[in-house]
């Protein structure tokens, strides 16, 4: 409960300052759903892809085009 309170406070502060919010370290669908519910604009983490170099990213992006995973996580 304490962690959730801190996360909400940070998100609220960023929103009040007009800062876009990216949730980092998303590994599960449940985490993605919570971050979306809390108001994050986007997210990154192992749920989407492991760290990779630019060439691998471009290849992955092209391979996944039309699948929907390359779109913004939240909106």
Please write the tens of the pLDDT for every residue from 42-74: 999 999 889 999 999 898 888 877 665 545 444
Query: Does any domain span residue 69?
Result: no
What's the sign of the alpha-carbon dihedral 34, 4, 43, 45? negative
- pLDDT of 75 reads 42
Please write the tens of the pLDDT for every residue from 28-47: 999 999 999 999 999 999 99
Task: For residues 65 and 62, give the distance between their C-alpha atoms in angstroms, rounded to a whole number.
Answer: 5
Contacts with 43 (C-beta within 8 Å, 6 or more apart), sequence order: 22, 23, 24, 26, 32, 35, 36, 73, 74
For the annotated catalytic residues, the residue numbers are 24
Query: Does any domain span residue 73?
Result: no
Look up the domain containing 8 and give its range: 2-64
Query: Does any domain span residue 14?
Result: yes
Domain count, the chain: 1
- pLDDT of 68 reads 56
Task: For residues 67 and 52, give the distance between their C-alpha atoms in angstroms, rounded to a whole number.
Answer: 20
């Amino acid at each position: 409960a304490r962690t959730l309170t801190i996360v909400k406070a940070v998100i609220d502060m960023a929103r009040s300052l007009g800062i876009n919010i990216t949730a980092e370290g998303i590994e599960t669908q449940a985490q993605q759903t919570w971050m979306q519910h809390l108001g994050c604009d986007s997210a990154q983490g192992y749920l989407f892809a492991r760290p990779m170099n630019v060439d691998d990213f471009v290849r992955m992006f092209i391979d996944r085009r039309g699948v929907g995973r390359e779109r913004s996580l939240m909106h």
